[in-house]
Structure 1
């Protein structure tokens, strides 16, 4: 498990979790504290929400993995390297038609979005125990950009081409000649935006000036500032 600090990337932390981490209800037990009513500084306030946000994300992933049998999934048609200028290894992936598209989405059919978290596997798991089968490969990946979607309205089929960031580099020798599948788990875009707002606001000169006259800050005052910073960040 990767520890967190102010410079840690939210996506990297999530991708570092093992299967045991995701199902470990005590993963952040010693980090998640009761949020106080008064805070000594901006960093103290915003820092109080970092681990609760990570714990919420872990729970979100855990819940998604418990319903693998009904999750939207598609077979991978092609998978190619797409090097990034940030020294990160991305991949362009293309799928055939998505199945179980209506599962868990109410009246809306599933469509690929940036921030979608998938399981990339060389088999179609039905239950969590399948992920621990000897000789099977799987890894978490995050959608980092949509390239193309093709929809056939006649039979409601959807095929996608998009860029993914995996938790580790993909060994093409290992997956060669194997059928690969993408299984949709959840979307972390709202969580990531909150994470960015929390860390951006710690360095706000405006907030620092407002705090200079007091050693402690009331929670309702800081909550208003947080909401303003968050709205500014996602506009």
Structure 2
């Protein structure tokens, strides 16, 4: 049996010099437009994507302080473009393992500035029954080729025509990049979150450092006694205690927890969230990627279930709610117990009433 996927979100194929089609009558596509980040990405050639020095002269060191909101937002714009290029390059390097689907039908639906197609796909290897069908999602960047690439060098010889068999190979999804790009709009940022943004722009790290240096490594708070069992180093413990102390004092404040990869930032944040739960303080945690959210949530669940942490009598998994895109977050195991949609479905089953032999 063949597995097929019929795309509800039609694929936008960007081609230079594309002309408008006479069939462009469906208003469904009239609101679609590329972000400025996507326009830059589609302007790159394959050689540009593979060129690690493409934006070397444009990427500047991000300063510690900023003179204006515009300077703050602008400092992250080019690094985001470079990050997009680097992630595309990384996806191409490991293209042998990239999700792919065979395109068995491609049909032009309409055209405007770009050409829009509807695709019918099936898994690239019909013999492998364990392989799931790759289902293209909104904002996926696909590589269309006449055969599934096994190495990055295969891309140089790749070509396709609508009359030939095609493979759609997944590279990256642009949703997160576009959201970050939109958040870096200084004009929009100036009229939203007006209280917190100036605090971030004018953040003075010396204030936090001075307060942290005055903190003892043990707060006179037996409620947080389990903190000693989490094997935090000195800087991690000071960061957690500093944030808890600031929270108890009340009033708005900003603290920056930073460090190179592997420094334990995720563990520190997770421990801080555990402490906030112990103190019965509601906390909203956000992150730019699904992976980051899942990592933090997983560690928080682990800490809550740790019998040595002493949180069993004061905190429960029902106190934690995880929400986001279920498919992309790959929610399973203990995370399924705190994921909002799965929790809602379980509650619906519990609250259903049986009347006259029917479930309502």
Closer, same or farther in 2 for the Cα pair 1:175/1:49, shift >3 Å?
A: same
Unaligned runs of 5+ in 2: 1-33, 206-252, 257-284, 289-323, 325-360
Higher strand share: 1
Deviations 1:5-61 (A, max 9, x none): xx9622222122111111111111111111111212111110110111111111111
TM-score, length-normalised on structure 2? 0.42
Greater alpha carbon shift after TM alignment, 87-96 vs 20-29: 87-96
CA contact (8 A) 1:42 1:207 kept: no
- Measured in 1, the distance between the counterparts of 2:191 and 2:108 equals 43
Q: Does 1:92 align with 2:118?
A: yes
- Measured in 2, the distance between the counterparts of 1:122 and 1:137 equals 6
What is the aligned partner in structure 1 of residue 76 from structure 2?
Answer: 49
CA contact (8 A) 1:74 1:182 kept: yes
- Measured in 1, the distance between the counterparts of 2:40 and 2:142 equals 15
What is the aligned partner in structure 2 of residue 128 from structure 1?
Answer: 152
Closer, same or farther in 2 for the Cα pair 1:18/1:102, shift >3 Å?
A: farther
Alignment of 1:17-166 (within 5 A): 17-83=44-110, 87-99=113-125, 111-133=135-157, 136-137=158-159
TM-score, length-normalised on structure 1? 0.62
Higher helix share: 2
CA contact (8 A) 2:108 2:117 kept: yes
Query: RMSD of the alignment, in Å?
Result: 3.7
Among 158, 162, 165, the residue aligned to 1:179? 165
Number of residue pairs matched by the alignment: 177
- Measured in 2, the distance between the counterparts of 1:69 and 1:209 equals 46
**Which of the two has higher C-alpha Rg?**
2
- Measured in 2, the distance between the counterparts of 1:38 and 1:110 equals 44
CA contact (8 A) 1:102 1:110 kept: no
- Measured in 1, the distance between the counterparts of 2:39 and 2:154 equals 25
Closer, same or farther in 2 for the Cα pair 1:88/1:205, shift >3 Å?
A: same
Q: Which has the higher contact order (CA 8 A, sep 6+)?
A: 1
